[in-house]
Amino acid sequence: MKRVNRRFSTLLFLGIAAALLGAVTLAGICLKDAALVTDFSRKDLPPCQGFLFGTDWMGRDMFARTLAGLSLSIRVGLLTAGISACVALVLGVLSAAFGGWVDALISWWIDLVMGTPHILLVILLSIACGKGFTGVVVGVALSHWTSLARVIRGEVLQLKTAPYLLAAEKLGVSRWNRVKLHLLPHLLPQFLTGLILLFPHAILHEASVTFLGFGLSSEQPAVGVILSESMRYLTTGKWWLALFPGAALVLVVVLFALLGERVRLLLDPGSVHE
């Protein structure tokens, strides 16, 4: 039997995972209206053929609600992880490239953000922006950049003394061109994997903050909202309200984590041997 090339199987996995996540996102957008349909003739149904995840006390189809919620989570995750990674890139490069008091200030700022428990920081930021969609996005985006910023800062510090950069400086390449031509291409793999590995955290924190009541408003079919509502019906034995949406969320987050792991292997082939 011919052994499948590892690179090929990794690429295949990437394709399938990306397609799956894309499909969930699209399906959620399409099912947004179906998720809001209430029908009291079919309320509190346990999982059955017509309703895979059952229905809630207002007769809403939990499958549609879950998909819509996941789609919302993924979109919020993409947005916040993107912003976070960009903040990390800018601050990390600034910190390492300028050194001195800029570095001291940014490092202090990173320590400050890392020192506050994440959830509390997201709550504070969310309150500052008046909760809701903006609150979640700002809260999650501005609290997750720290570790990536540190990685990028370390990388740039290391690169700064690399012979080819010193040579470029002596050859009279301008500072901006050195950053653009020599530094950024080197940072790209770190940046991309950091970005993808931010998704799981972003999605989990979005769901957590929404669950606590500081995030997306309760009319929206967010996973956090679904789970916090399900809490009221747990004691009456409606287990499906909590089990399936949560499990689906875990699945999406695992997919993102695996995706990030595989992308790292592709972009940084040396790490395969670890």
Partner 1 sequence: MKQALFFAGKKAFRALLLLLGVSVASFLLLCASPLDPLRTNVGQAALGSMSQEQVAQLEAYWGADQPPVERYLGWLAGAVRGDLGTSLLYRQPVLTVIGQRLGSSLWLLLTAWVLSGVLGLALGITAGAFRGRWPDKLIRGWCLVISSTPAFWLALLFLLLFSVWLGWLPIGLSVPIGVEEEAVTLADRLQHALLPALTLSVTGVSNIALHTREKLVDVLGSDYILLARARGEREGAIVLRHGLRNVALPALTLQFGSVGEIIGGSVLVEQVFSYPGLGQAAVTAGLGSDLPLLLGVTLVTSGLVFGGNLLADLLYGVIDPRMKRGEGRP
- Contact residues for partner 1, defined by CB under 8 A: 108, 111-112, 114-120, 123-125, 127-131, 200, 204, 207-208, 211-214, 227, 230-231, 234-235, 237, 239, 242-243, 246, 249-250, 253-254, 257-258, 274
Task: Kindly state the smallest distance separating residue 274's Cβ from partner 1, in Å.
Answer: 8
Residue with Cβ nearer partner 1 (178 or 201)? 201
Task: Kindly state the smallest distance separating residue 250's Cβ from partner 1, in Å.
Answer: 5
Can you tell me the distance from the alpha carbon of 93 to that of 140, in angstroms, rounded to the nearest whole number?
A: 21
Can you tell me the distance from the alpha carbon of 89 to that of 192, in angstroms, rounded to the nearest whole number?
A: 11
Residue with Cβ nearer partner 1 (68 or 259)? 259
Task: Kindly state the smallest distance separating residue 42's Cβ from partner 1, in Å.
Answer: 23
Q: CA of 22: how far to CAs of 18, 34, 100, 224, 255, in Å?
A: 6, 19, 44, 21, 12
- Residues 161 and 130: beta-carbon distance below 8 Å: no
Residue with Cβ nearer partner 1 (53 or 187)? 53
Task: Kindly state the smallest distance separating residue 146's Cβ from partner 1, in Å.
Answer: 11
- Residue 208: which residues within 8 A CB-CB, separation 6 or more? 119, 122, 224
- Residue 94: which residues within 8 A CB-CB, separation 6 or more? 102, 106
Coarse DSSP helix, strand, coil percentages of the chain, rounded to the nearest 5 percent = 75, 0, 25
Residue with Cβ nearer partner 1 (134 or 177)? 134
Task: Kindly state the smallest distance separating residue 92's Cβ from partner 1, in Å.
Answer: 19
